[in-house]
Amino acid sequence: MNGEQPVLEIRDLRVTFPTESGKVQAVRGVDVTVAAGEMLGVVGESGSGKSVTFLAAMGLLPKTAKIEGSVKVHGQELVGASNSEMRSQRGKRISMIFQDPLSALNPTHKIGHQVSEMIRSHNEMSKDAAWTRSIELLDIVGIPQPRVRASQYPHEFSGGMRQRVMIAIAIANDPDVLIADEPTTALDVTVQAQILDVIQDIQHKFRAGVVFITHDLGVVARIADRVQVMYAGRTVERGDVESIFKNPTHPYTRGLLASLPALGRDRLTPIPGAPPNMLRPPSGCAFRPRCPFAEEICAGDIPELHPLLGLETACVRAEDLLLVEGVA
């Protein structure tokens, strides 16, 4: 980061969902910072709170969700903003791409209209002008014959093409922040690569701050500048992509990396156990029940991030583990 004001700044975000059986603490104090033109990879497994964090930032959670903390887009606070303030920010300064492009597009509206709608929601523009601009946008994201395709419906598009449409919609108003929530998970591997190219292209061309939410560490290694690893509603480790892949300090991050298939590795080592129940998260470090290095100290306070080897880690035993490893 280079002294510039971050385009997205999340401070101590907490999200709880009231349910019949009690409060589910989906996000428990998460900080995120993204600068313009930067890509942040957010990694975590199901229920780690990675999607909920950014849906909360977008104001897209159900009304029953309780959101605390601060979300600033280009310095403007969004938590507690009125509905109309929120609406004027969404789609203009912060926009989002979702996992399944088929269900995320309205099946009964023409593609061109779905792009135009985004433009006209935030700009005084005639229908014709918006339509023309939509065709340009479809062209930018690499949709062939955009003029013809604009008049078609989502079911006439392939999965990859639909995701391109979603990207075209997301960038229509040149947003400061683009959140991509597992945008390639539902796609074929070959198409995945194309979509990643499009997103990177957008990142550079539009100088948007991109948040790339995924469970795929390989994707993160390829395109992200920085990585933030989440577990049980908290950040366990973050830092630039190279440091994390070279010297992970948190046992959870190590577990994730060890479970990745790689050249020259005979077997994959899965992390034993399952993620915790967020109705009653464990005291102290939430990863403790699954951690092979857990000791008494881990059950104390919830560990905060602290700097180590150019990274920030939430493991209280990170230093000890480095020593042990150094010996071994």
Partner 1 sequence: MTEIDPNPDLDTTEVHGADIAQAIEANTDADLTGLSLRDESEGVGGESLSPFRLALRHYRRNTLAMIALVVLLLIVLACLFPSIPARYGEAQRLPKTGSTFIHAPPSAKAWFGTDDLNRDLYSRVFYGGRVSIMIGIAVAIIACTVGTIVGALAGYLGGLLDDILMRITDIFLAFPILVSLLVLRNVLAEISFIKAIMGDKTSIRFMVLLLSAVGWMAVARIVRGVVLSLKEREFVEASRSVGASGPRIMFRHLIPNALGPIMVALSLSVVGAILAESTLSFFGYGPSPGEGRTTWGLLIAQSKSGVLSGYWWLVVFPCALLVITIVAINFVGDGLRDAFDPKSDMSRA
Partner 2 sequence: MIRFVARRLMWTIPTLFLITFLVFIAIRIGTDPVQSYLRINPRASQKKIEQYKQTNGLTGNIVSQYFNWLHHFVTFNWGRSIKGSRPVWPELKAAMANTLVLGTLATAVGLVFGLAIGILSAMRPRSLFDQTSTTTAFVGISIPPYVSAILLQLFFAITLTRWLGLSKPLLPTSGIYPPGHKGFDLRLRLKYLILPITVVAIQVIAVYSRYMRASLLEVKNSDYLRTARAKGVSERRILVRHALRNALIPIVTVAAIDIGGIIGGLIITERIFENKGMGDFFLTAYTNGDFPQLMPWMVFVVLAVILANLLADVLYAVLDPRIRLD
**Cα–Cα distance measured from residue 31 to residue 91, given in angstroms and rounded to the nearest whole number:** 22
Nearer to partner 2, 211 or 286 (CB): 211
* 6-45: contacts with partner 1 (CB under 8 A): 17, 19-22, 24, 26, 43-45
Residue from 122, 207, 215, 306 binding partner 2 (CB under 8 A): 122
206 interacts with, out of partner 1, partner 2, none, CB within 5 to 8 A per kind: none
Closest-CA residue to 45 (of 238, 215, 197)? 215
What the block records as the tokens of 229 is 């690893």
Establish if 185 lies at the interface with partner 1 (CB under 8 A).
yes
Sequence letter at residue 52: V
**Cα–Cα distance measured from residue 158 to residue 275, given in angstroms and rounded to the nearest whole number:** 34
Establish if 106 lies at the interface with partner 2 (CB under 8 A).
yes
Least distance between partner 1 and beta carbon 200 (Å): 22
What the block records as the tokens of 38 is 């930067």
User: What is the dihedral sign for C-alpha 233, 238, 242, 246?
Assistant: negative
Nearer to partner 1, 45 or 201 (CB): 45
| Element at 212 (helix H, strand E) | strand 209-214
**Cα–Cα distance measured from residue 284 to residue 236, given in angstroms and rounded to the nearest whole number:** 12
Establish if 92 lies at the interface with partner 2 (CB under 8 A).
yes
Number of other CB atoms surrounding residue 319 within 10 Å: 14
64 interacts with, out of partner 1, partner 2, none, CB within 5 to 8 A per kind: partner 1
Show the binding pattern over residues 140-159: x = contacts partner 2 (CB under 8 A), - = does not. Answer: -------------x-x----
SS (H, E, C) 77-98: ECCCCCHHHHHHHECCCEEEEC
**Cα–Cα distance measured from residue 195 to residue 189, given in angstroms and rounded to the nearest whole number:** 10
Contact 150, 131 (CB under 8 A): yes
Nearer to partner 2, 117 or 319 (CB): 117
Q: Which residues bind partner 1 (CB under 8 A)?
A: 17, 19-22, 24, 26, 43-48, 51-52, 55, 60-62, 64-65, 99, 182, 185, 215-216, 255-256, 259-260, 268, 270-272, 274-275, 277-279
Q: Which residues bind partner 2 (CB under 8 A)?
A: 58, 60, 83, 87-92, 95-96, 98, 100, 103-109, 117-118, 121-122, 153, 155, 166, 169
